[in-house]
């Protein structure tokens, strides 16, 4: 189970870093179903891409010594879950997004729960209790 969590977090972290770098370097052309945006939206998107890059790097930091990193892993999972809720809010506020993001919404709500369950199975009880 420990190895599964390590591999999963490594894949997840690398994916987050890759997505962030693509958004940072190539801007709105990386948004599936997106269109041309103005300079303000492009600037905002690239700014948030740096934050997502930091998020992915934080996930990768957790891969080492995962047994002691229950709290950071769970906090990062909570942040990701909040992102899924934000996506759902956008759907409610502005309408259904592209099919890809329709599929991503439940993923963004389920992945944090799976992370939490894996952490509970792998990490030391004292580390999990603090989270």
Structure confidence at residue 34 (pLDDT): 84
Q: What is the pTM of this model?
A: 0.89
For 101, the enclosing helix (H) or strand (E) is helix 99-122
Residues 87/108, Cβ–Cβ less than 8 Å: yes
Structure confidence at residue 129 (pLDDT): 57
Residues with Cβ within 8 Å of residue 25, at least 6 apart in sequence: none
Per-residue pLDDT of the chain (131 residues; tens, 9 = 90+): 889 999 999 999 999 999 999 999 999 999 998 888 999 999 999 999 999 999 999 999 999 988 889 999 999 999 999 999 999 999 999 999 999 999 999 999 999 999 999 999 988 665 555 55
């Amino acid at each position: 189970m420990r190895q599964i969590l390590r591999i999963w977090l490594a894949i997840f972290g690398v994916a987050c870093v890759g997505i962030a770098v693509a958004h940072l370097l190539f801007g709105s052309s990386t948004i599936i179903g997106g269109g041309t945006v103005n300079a303000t939206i492009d600037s905002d998107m690239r700014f948030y891409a740096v934050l997502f890059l930091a998020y992915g790097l934080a996930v990768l930091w957790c891969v080492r010594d995962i047994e002691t990193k229950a709290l950071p892993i769970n906090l990062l999972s909570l942040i990701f879950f909040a992102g899924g809720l934000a996506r759902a809010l956008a759907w409610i506020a502005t309408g259904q997004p592209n099919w890809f993001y329709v599929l991503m919404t439940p993923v963004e709500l389920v992945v944090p729960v799976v992370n939490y369950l894996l952490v509970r199975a792998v990490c030391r009880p004292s580390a999990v209790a603090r989270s």
